[in-house]
Amino acid sequence: MRDVVETVVGFARTVRAAGGRADPERVQAMLTALDHLDVLDPRDVYWAGRLTLCADPEDLPRYDRCFVAYFSGRTAVPGPRRTPPPVVRTVRVAPPVPDPPSNGDAPADASVTSASGVEVLRHRDVSRLGPDERAEINRLIAVLGASAEPRRSRRLTPASSGRLDPARTVREALRHGGEPAVLRHRAPRTRPRRLVLLVDVSGSMSPYADALLRFAHAAVRAGTAARRVEAFGVGTRLTRVTRELGTRDPDAAMRAVAAAIPDWSGGTRLGEELKEFLDRFGQRGMARGAVVVIASDGWERGDATLLGEQMARLARLAHRVIWANPHKARPGYAPLAAGMAAALPHLSAFTSGHSLAALEELARLIGDPGHA
Amino acid sequence: MAHSIPPPRPAGVLPASPGALAELLDEHAYLCDDGLATACFLALRMGRPLFLEGEAGVGKTELAKTLARVLGAPLIRLQCYEGLDASQALYDWDFPRQILHLRAAEAAGATDAARLEGELYDRRFLLARPLLRALETSPSVLLVDEVDRADDEFEAFLLEVLSDFTISVPELGTIRAETPPVVVVTSNRTREVHDALKRRCLYHWLEHPSYDREVAIIRRRLPDAAGRLAGQVARAAAALRAADLLKPPGVAESLDWTEALVALGVRDLDPDAAALTLGAVLKYREDRDRGLAALFDGG
């Protein structure tokens, strides 16, 4: 029999390599759990690990795979064998349409773009940018930390008027020899609403998906524990990418997102994906009272009836629903795509999001309901 | 509930194995599988909080109640909600009594402000809220219900309490639990609970029970239900869970449904009886129509 500690540490390494949570504290907990159980009973070992090394239902299938792989003995080679880092797919971007040189040569380095150059860039469609211009725009998107409008919280904070604050009043009374001469008050404070971003990553949106995901990255980064921001990639499957977007460096975050989304540049099943979002996350609470942004061109392969139904459901749950369709900025655009037409009646705002200026507008719309 | 409740076990006697604990829970009409039994067993043995997640109605809260009965310990429940703060979860000062005390002291001619303040922040003026009460009651089972409904500030309090089972009251000092309570934390996953909190806990995801187990649960909890009816309800509940509803029914709903059917004297679950009682299971209008179709049209 191999040493228990060695076996568990080796197993934890397998779980960690597969992307699971097996930090030292959790491994220690698994070892402690095994102290109380029968180390030789595979079921006990399974549960000791599952109860300590998992913290989410999404961890469970991975844990099961690792358990089978490690303890079936075929791949169990405890030792400093490094698993290769997961393959990272780069974010696919539509080939840039070469720009007609506007005045003279394009600047060799985007960081020296002049102020007026930035102004021109702000209004340019992001699908028609060269690599340098794109880098410049990406830098500007990175500081667009969109934040949703405030709502009244149930938490109270000291205020000059409002309900009586007994704790502070008693302390004040003590200072005056027991006379409650000064009354202290407290009132509800405000907190930003939750912001949920659903970014379409299907083929038809690929020229814009990168910029929109970067917008989402800036919003997620700007969010704190108190002002939560959630982001999802929507294609033929729904992928939660909030954790991936938590990385500070935008390029690293984009690589992480690209690795996480299995169906990048595939088709769209917007209605079904929205339903999945509402079933798994939205109705449980994520969409309740939130500002929800859908960034998509509204191209629906399937029947648009489902999308209409789900949009109505979303509109009932969310505080506001904003749709950003990059194609809206095209001359002569009309919301004729079946999906878009079905969604339109349920929106609080319909905007474009095709250029930096349009993304700034989107950020304003998210933060301010009066702004239309 | 019609089942007989055995007397509580003497406190401090812990079961020797997960299987023994499962038997004890069974005696109190809670049927659990290997995983849940192991989770509870480890929570008791390791003194770690048990973090239970799962769909609504799979028996998370019921487990805490049953554990309290098995251990013969009082159940102290903290229902979470947004805005829950320290004065509602940990402790609060009894302000009216403090003011009365001040006035009384003043009337008696007390002038020493420092001494007066010392008297004011005494244990007898401290109101224990659920978390403090659980630390001061030994043994006890603390149920922190639907922690996902509370906001993040509250998680910080909870983390502090659950990591070393102490509460520090600035005016009074640190209050420590003699024997840490058995803690069950439940979540419906309406939002992600911070990993730091989960790391302190044993994590268990509760699934809907299998058909056989659900029949067993219904028969165990409602001995008046005929075996055939229990089977029909369990099969119908499984069909409803597969029917893509807004809110699939949990075990709690199956039990409610069976109880409703038994109360109506129904012996067989037919479309008429189902239509009459479906309100016990499905709580959305959209689900009602779809549910009936799933149960009786070609299903």
Tell me the percentage of chain B whose pLDDT exceeds 70: 95
* B26-54 confidence digits (pLDDT tens): 999 999 889 999 999 999 999 999 999 98
Q: Which of A170, A191, A220 to mutate to test the interface with B (most CBs of B within 10 A)?
A: A170
DSSP A219-278: HHHH--SSS-EEEEEESSSEEE-TTGGGSSSHHHHHHHHHHH-TTTT----HHHHHHHHI
CB contact under 8 A, B205 and A57: yes
Distance of CA B86 to the CA centre of its chain: 20
Return the number of CB contacts < 8 Å for A and B. 111
CB contact under 8 A, B42 and A23: no
- Which structure tokens are listed for B202? 């044993």
Contacts of range B135-138, beta carbons closer than 8 Å, 24 or more positions apart: B135/B161, B135/B165, B135/B166, B135/B167, B135/B175, B135/B176, B135/B177, B135/B180, B135/B181, B136/B175, B136/B177, B137/B73, B137/B74, B137/B76, B137/B181, B138/B177, B138/B178, B138/B179, B138/B181
B95 touches A at CB < 8 Å: yes
* A70-80 confidence digits (pLDDT tens): 988 644 333 33
Angle between helices A42-53 and A4-17 (to 10 degrees): 50
CA distance A155 to chain B (A): 4
Q: Which of A15, A35, A47, A172 to mutate to test the interface with B (most CBs of B within 10 A)?
A: A47
**Owner of token pair 């934890």:** A12
pLDDT of residue A225: 62
Cβ atoms of residues A323 and A93 within 8 Å = no
Across the range B226-243, mean pLDDT stands at 90
**Owner of token pair 């509370």:** B150
Cβ atoms within 10 Å, residue A257? 28
pLDDT of residue A250: 86
Cβ atoms within 10 Å, residue B299? 11
Q: Which residue has the higher pLDDT, B184 or A175?
A: B184
Nearest CA in chain B to A225: B152
**Owner of token pair 């807004």:** B246
Tell which A residues from 57 to 76 touch B, by Cβ distance under 8 Å.
57, 60
CA–CA gap between residue A234 and residue A200 (Å, rounded): 5
Strands A349-351, A185-192: pairing kind: unpaired
CA distance A295 to chain B (A): 22
Asked if pLDDT for residue B194 goes beyond 80, the answer is yes
Among B148, B168, B149, B146, residue whose Cα is nearest residue B86: B168
ipTM of the modeled complex: 0.83
CA–CA gap between residue B50 and residue B201 (Å, rounded): 5
CA distance A52 to chain B (A): 5
Q: Which of A30, A43, A51 to mutate to test the interface with B (most CBs of B within 10 A)?
A: A51
Tell which A residues from 89 to 148 touch B, by Cβ distance under 8 Å.
none
Cβ atoms of residues A291 and A194 within 8 Å = yes
* B143-175 confidence digits (pLDDT tens): 999 998 888 778 888 988 998 899 988 888 899
Asked if pLDDT for residue B214 goes beyond 90, the answer is yes
Nearest-by-Cβ selection for B191 from A173, A179, A285: A285
Q: Which residues contact A48 (CB under 8 A, 6 or more apart)?
A: A30, A33, A34, A37, B38, B42
Tell me the percentage of chain B whose pLDDT exceeds 90: 46
Q: Which residues contact B25 (CB under 8 A, 6 or more apart)?
A: B31, B32, B37, B40, B63, B66, B67, B70
Helix (H, G, I), strand (E, B) or coil at B24: helix
Q: Which residue has the higher pLDDT, A199 or B83?
A: A199
B chain contacts of residue A21, beta-carbon cutoff 8 Å: 195
DSSP class of residue B201 equals: S
A chain contacts of residue B83, beta-carbon cutoff 8 Å: 153-156
pLDDT of residue A370: 67
Nearest-by-Cβ selection for A178 from B51, B103, B148: B103
Q: Which residues contact A272 (CB under 8 A, 6 or more apart)?
A: A302, A306
pLDDT of residue B263: 92
Tell which B residues from 31 to 90 touch A, by Cβ distance under 8 Å.
34-35, 38-39, 41-42, 45-46, 48, 51, 53, 81-83, 85, 87
pLDDT of residue B142: 96
DSSP class of residue B234 equals: H
CB contact under 8 A, A23 and B199: yes
Q: What stretch of H or E contains A197? A: strand A195-200
CA–CA gap between residue A288 and residue A315 (Å, rounded): 10
Cβ atoms of residues A362 and A322 within 8 Å = yes
Among A235, A237, A236, A201, residue whose Cα is nearest residue A216: A201
Q: Which residues pair with B174 in a beta bridge?
A: B168
Average pLDDT score, chain B: 87
Q: Which residues of chain A have pLDDT under 70?
A: 1-2, 73-118, 177-178, 224-227, 302, 370-372
Q: What is the pTM of this model?
A: 0.72
Cβ atoms of residues A51 and A27 within 8 Å = no
Tell me the pLDDT band of B13, cut-offs 50, 70 and 90: low
B chain contacts of residue A166, beta-carbon cutoff 8 Å: 93, 95
CA distance B267 to chain A (A): 34
- Which structure tokens are listed for A255? 């690589």
Cβ atoms of residues B82 and B149 within 8 Å = yes
CA–CA gap between residue B208 and residue B210 (Å, rounded): 7
Tell which B residues from 178 to 207 touch A, by Cβ distance under 8 Å.
188-191, 194-195, 198-199, 202-205
CA distance B148 to chain A (A): 9
